[in-house]
Amino acid sequence: MKPRPVIAIDGPAGAGKSTVARMVCQRTGLAMLDTGAMYRGIAWAAHRDKLDVADAGLMTRLANEVDLQFQGIPARLVVDGVDVGDEIRTLEIGQDASRLSEHSGVRQALVAQQQRIIEAGGFVLEGRDVTTVVAPKAELKIFLTASVEERGRRRWEESKARGVTDTLPMVIKDVISRDYRDYTRADSPLMLAEDAVIIESFGLTPEAVVDRIMELLLKRTSV
């Protein structure tokens, strides 16, 4: 394998990107960058400061001012010195992250930070625009997807494990509305990069998805 490849994984909410990215990191020793956590971190800061996520100017300023750091393995997001842990994993923060991610100023601020982080290579990154905007030259680009029902069910299982009481219909409704916004926003919507490999994860274990990614990575980086 090339010493410091970049693997970029895009896909809709609940497709299993985080689980798979984390496992690829464990197998390869590459570092992980969860770009969605950064949008969620800005949404968390907006709640903290009681700011309206629909306000493009305010959100752009926030995205430029807030200090976002990842610490530890697995990485935890630290926002202005506060370890936000699972507080950024609620449906409300997810929706607000999706809303503020529509503002071009926010995207520019976060994409610039993400590109600085991965500059020297050696990362697995996941998000909605990492194959198209953040790392268009990544050695391997994956578009990971599954049906809305399957993705909703997975997100629901995860939230149950964290003790959250959202119902399955609530979580599916959340996935549908985030899909709509993430696919249709004007600036860098979620889309399939020309040279991305589509992996439909229905019926596949995370291990099987990771095996497929490792096979592809070896092919791409051994030439």
DSSP secondary structure letters along 180-205: HHHHH-SSS-S---TTPEEEE-TT--
Residue closer to ligand DC by CB (options 22, 40) is: 40
d(Cα 93, Cα 102) in Å, to the nearest integer? 14
40 near ligand DC (CB under 6 A): yes
Residue 128 touches ligand DC, criterion: CB under 6 A: yes
Q: Does 150 bind ligand DC (CB under 6 A)?
A: no
Specify the amino acid at residue 176: I
Closest distance to ligand DC from the beta carbon of 108 (Å): 12
**Closer residue to ligand DC in complex, CB, 30/128:** 128
Applying CB under 6 A, among 5, 7, 24, 35 the residue interacting with ligand DC is 35
CB of 208 to ligand DC, least distance (A): 21
Rule CB under 6 A: choose which of 5, 16, 41, 127 binds ligand DC: 127
The C-alpha atoms of residue 221 and residue 136 are separated, in whole angstroms, by 16
Smallest distance from the beta carbon of 156 to ligand DC, in angstroms? 14
Nearest to 123 by CA among 39, 1, 8: 8
Which is nearer to ligand DC, 91 or 216 (by Cβ)? 91
Shortest distance in whole angstroms from residue 8 CB to ligand DC: 10
The secondary structure of 114-153, three-state, reads HHHHCCCCCEEEEECCHHHHHCCCCCEEEEEECCHHHHHH
Tell me the C-alpha to C-alpha distance, in Å, between residue 114 and each of 14, 16, 125.
Answer: 21, 21, 9
Q: Under the criterion CB under 6 A, does residue 13 sit at the interface with ligand DC?
A: yes
Q: Which of 16, 41, 94, 105 binds ligand DC (CB under 6 A)?
A: 94
Closest CA to 12 of 147, 161, 138: 147
Of the candidates 37, 16, 4, 5, the residue with the CA atom closest to the CA atom of residue 151? 16
How many chain residues touch ligand DC (CB under 6 A)? Answer: 16
| Cβ closest to ligand DC, residue 134 vs residue 213 | 134
Q: Is residue 41 at the binding interface for ligand DC, with CB under 6 A as the rule?
A: no
Choosing from 90, 142, 178, 193, the residue that interacts with ligand DC (CB under 6 A) is 178
How far is CA 83 from its chain centroid?
18
- Choose, by CB under 6 A, the member of 90, 101, 131, 201 that binds ligand DC: 101
C-alpha 175/C-alpha 180 separation (Å) is 9
User: Given the rule CB under 6 A, which residues bind ligand DC?
Assistant: 13, 35-37, 39-40, 94, 97-98, 101, 127-130, 178, 182
